[in-house]
Structures are given as C-alpha cells and as structure tokens.
C-alpha cells in the first residue's frame, strides 16, 4: 500500500523579489508563526502539497483564498509560473520528493476535484 505525504503549506503567489506577477514566490510549511506572517500578504493562501509518481500536486480550497487571488491566479485553464521555482529542501523532505527540485516556468493545467482547485505539475 502506498501512502501519500500530504503537507499543509502556505503559498504566497507572484514572483520574487516583490511577490507580484504570476507564479510561486514563497512556499513554506504551515506553522502558527508562518501563518501569521503569510496572512499579511493579500496573495497568500493555505494549501496542501503532495508528491507522487514524479508529479507535484497543489490542492487549495476556493473558500480558503481571497476572491482577488482566485480571479487572478485560478480562473483560467492554466496556473502560470513566470519564473522557475525551487522547492525548499525541508518541504521536499516532508512530501518525499527529491531535494533540489526546480519547477520550470510554464503553464500547468488547473482541475477541479471534490470542490477543490488542483494544479498538477509533471516533472
């Protein structure tokens, strides 16, 4: 039997250094301290991250994001990454994916599954 490591994360959308544009700016495990910092940003959301069969799966509830974030990032057919994004090593360890993993810039399909928004990134 194969068990998935599902990690609660906080994701600030946009691109570095100012976290504007499209993509992933800050990705970290959810803790009380990181949640407090994250919620200061309009474009921060709570999500879950999983890795299976060389695919990174980002799942987020529409109810857990602000309307402007939903409209900007999740109302098209694709989730857009303007720049490559490196998964932090501690997050990679927690979900069982290789360290040093970089998501290439591009467009990734958005699905709706069980009332949640899902982005699947094949690696």
61 DSSP β-pair partners: 116
Spans of the chain below 70 pLDDT: 1-3
Give the pLDDT of residue 1.
40
Helix (H, G, I), strand (E, B) or coil at 122: strand
pTM for this one? 0.89
CA distances in angstroms from 104 to 33, 43, 61, listed in the order given: 29, 21, 24
Instruction: State the residue for tokens 């997050």.
Output: 91
For 100-111, how does the pLDDT look when each residue is reduced to its tens digit (9 = 90+)? 999 999 999 999
């Amino acid at each position: 039997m194969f068990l998935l490591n599902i990690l609660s994360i906080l994701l600030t959308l946009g691109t570095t250094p100012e976290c504007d544009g499209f993509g992933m700016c800050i990705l970290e495990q959810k803790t009380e301290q990181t949640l407090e910092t994250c919620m200061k940003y309009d474009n921060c959301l709570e999500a879950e991250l999983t890795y299976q069969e060389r695919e990174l799966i980002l799942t987020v509830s529409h109810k857990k994001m602000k309307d402007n974030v939903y409209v900007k990032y999740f109302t098209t057919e694709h989730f857009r990454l303007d720049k490559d994004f490196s998964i932090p090593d501690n997050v990679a360890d927690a979900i069982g994916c290789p360290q040093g993993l970089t998501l290439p810039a591009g467009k990734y399909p958005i699905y709706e599954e069980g009332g949640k928004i899902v982005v699947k990134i094949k690696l």
